[in-house]
Amino acid sequence: MDIRLLPFNKLIGLEIAGSEGDLMVCLPAGSQYLNHLGTVHGSALLAVAEAGSGEYLFRNLGHISNVFPVVRKLEAKFRKPANGKVTAKCTVIRAVVDGWVSELETRGRVLANVPVDVVDSTNAVVLSAVVEWFITRSKNA
């Protein structure tokens, strides 16, 4: 799945930040993302965090057929004002990801908590979040 092609992500101009490593998705610098203070709007930062966590899941669970993830909860803390391009970074210990895969295979569902930091053009962490995904797997896999 190309996360950029989801209607909302396409509308806001979401981009893939890289195909490897911990950089997931980004929004380029642009006046359309600014708030009344001239910094990146909080809802734009939340959109990057959510989409970044989804991209992380796709990269790590995309090889499993008939998987259906849905965001259950997103907890976030705004750390400082964001300027310019904003990028989601995700890193989860491999053993945790392996646990998700194992639980999907045995139970057919899992709650996966994906931590995300959103950084701005100065590489400052402007938002930290944990996105909880409820992931089910069809028995017809």
**How does pLDDT run across 14-35, given as a tens digit for each residue?**
999 987 789 999 999 999 999 9
Q: At the topology level of CATH, where does 3-65+74-92+113-129 sit?
A: Thiol Ester Dehydrase; Chain A (3.10.129)
User: Which backbone phi and psi does 66 adopt, to 5 degrees?
Assistant: 55, 45
pLDDT tens readout for residues 71-110? 999 999 999 999 999 999 999 999 999 999 999 999 999 9
Q: What is the pTM of this model?
A: 0.94
3-state SS class at 80: coil
Spatial distance between the Cα atoms of 69 and 58, rounded to a whole number of angstroms: 10
Dihedral angle sign, alpha carbons of residues 37, 40, 42, 43: positive
